[in-house]
């Protein structure tokens, strides 16, 4: 069983690595793949605060936007390469997360209240950056150095795809590592019952803050790359729909399962994009209706996420396979 897992994991890694070769001449395909991975990274990072710690965070867009603006502004003003800028962006997102997390967790803001406050942050930042003419403002600020690898401004999607692959594996690894450490056990425990966790020695406040900070760093980092992919920065990067979608992917994929959100992202984002590509023209936003219906069906029939469905199916097939092979 363990060997089989490792083999299928290696196969998956290989597949992800060679995928672009099938899409070399297909620009749309590469955009789709990169978008899927982008959401995969964000949802995987969300799993730390949302899936493990059970905090319904709706602020991915806030950290993404901060990462994007930091990276973009550093490039525009100081000609600092995004290869460094994205890490500064991650740190700025962390700083903001601490600023927000300290009071929220201090005053035990949780459940719907946490969801609402985190969601409000995104909109507050968006408006603040529209009004802050020096850095943001209502028009796009285009990034220079198009076509320069040194400035992470590639003219093809393939390098961005591989950057997303690296980010994805990094955030999967961080997830996996946390889930096997003290912090992971503490997060799942406090997600289930904060008081019960406290009396067992769990520092609920600082554990939540750690989760938020790690999540914010990964999202901020990704935000920097996001700016380079788009080639501009704009306050609409502080996007509420994106924030909500990240949480939805995490929930539908399966909360607290390391690769659950990734599965959610792969299935749902590709479905959404394909629906949009095929229906968008004739029946505007019909794809959104279908997308929502699918979401509702999943939540109704698989409240623990589609990943558990895949797991169950896999286990069933595997045990049948074992039985057949040991029958004689």
Which tokens sit at 239?
């996007």
Pick between residue 84 and residue 188 the one whose CB is nearest to another protein. 188
For the chain, where are the alpha helices, taking DSSP H only? 2-18, 27-46, 60-78, 82-106, 111-131, 157-179, 182-192, 194-198, 204-230, 240-253, 260-279, 286-301, 306-325
Q: Which residue has the tokens 């950057």?
A: 163
Q: How far is the CB of 55 from another protein (least distance, A)?
A: 14
Contact 239, 65 (CB under 8 A): yes
Pick between residue 71 and residue 258 the one whose CB is nearest to another protein. 258
Q: How far is the CB of 58 from another protein (least distance, A)?
A: 21
Q: Which residues contact 186 (CB under 8 A, 6 or more apart)?
A: 197, 202, 203, 207
Pick between residue 185 and residue 230 the one whose CB is nearest to another protein. 185
Q: How far is the CB of 323 from another protein (least distance, A)?
A: 22
Pick between residue 77 and residue 180 the one whose CB is nearest to another protein. 180
Footprint on this chain of another protein (rule: CB under 8 A):
180-182, 185-186, 188-189, 191-193, 195-204, 256
Pick between residue 49 and residue 143 the one whose CB is nearest to another protein. 49
Give the three-class secondary structure for 216.
helix
Pick between residue 110 and residue 272 the one whose CB is nearest to another protein. 110
Contact 242, 163 (CB under 8 A): no
Which tokens sit at 110?
């949780």
Q: How far is the CB of 273 from another protein (least distance, A)?
A: 32
Contact 163, 228 (CB under 8 A): no
Q: Could you give the C-alpha distances from 121 to 50, 54, 58, 59, 135, in angstroms and in order?
A: 16, 19, 9, 7, 18
Q: How far is the CB of 245 from another protein (least distance, A)?
A: 24
Q: How far is the CB of 180 from another protein (least distance, A)?
A: 8
């Amino acid at each position: 069983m363990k060997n089989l897992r490792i083999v299928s994991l290696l196969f998956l890694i290989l597949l992800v690595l060679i995928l672009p070769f099938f899409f070399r001449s297909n620009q749309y395909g590469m955009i789709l793949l990169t978008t899927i991975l982008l959401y995969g990274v964000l949802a995987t990072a969300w799993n730390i605060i949302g899936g493990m710690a059970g905090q319904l965070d709706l602020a991915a867009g806030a950290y993404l936007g901060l990462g994007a603006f930091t990276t973009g502004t550093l490039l525009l003003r100081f000609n600092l390469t995004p290869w460094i800028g994205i890490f500064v962006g991650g740190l700025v997102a962390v700083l903001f997360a601490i600023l927000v997390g300290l009071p929220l967790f201090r005053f035990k803001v949780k459940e719907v209240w946490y969801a609402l406050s985190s969601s409000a942050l995104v909109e507050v930042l968006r408006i603040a950056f529209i009004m802050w003419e020096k850095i943001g403002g209502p028009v796009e600020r285009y990034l220079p150095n198009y076509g320069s690898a040194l400035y992470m401004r590639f003219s093809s999607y393939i390098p961005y795809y591989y950057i997303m692959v690296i980010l994805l594996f990094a955030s999967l690894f961080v997830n996996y590592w946390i889930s096997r450490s003290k912090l992971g056990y503490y997060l799942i425990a406090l997600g289930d019952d904060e008081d019960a966790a406290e009396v067992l020695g769990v520092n609920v406040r600082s554990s939540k803050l750690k989760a938020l900070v790690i999540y914010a760093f990964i999202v901020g980092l990704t935000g920097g790359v996001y700016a380079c992919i788009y080639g501009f920065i704009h306050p609409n990067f502080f996007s509420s729909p994106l924030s909500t979608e990240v949480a939805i992917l995490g929930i539908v994929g399966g909360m607290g399962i390391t690769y659950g959100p990734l599965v959610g992202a792969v299935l749902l984002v590709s479905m959404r994009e394909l629906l949009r590509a095929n229906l968008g023209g004739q029946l505007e936003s019909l794809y959104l209706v279908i997308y929502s219906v699918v979401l509702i069906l999943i939540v109704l029939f698989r409240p623990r996420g589609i990943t558990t469905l895949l797991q169950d199916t896999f286990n069933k097939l595997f045990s049948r396979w074992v039985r057949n092979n040991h029958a004689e």
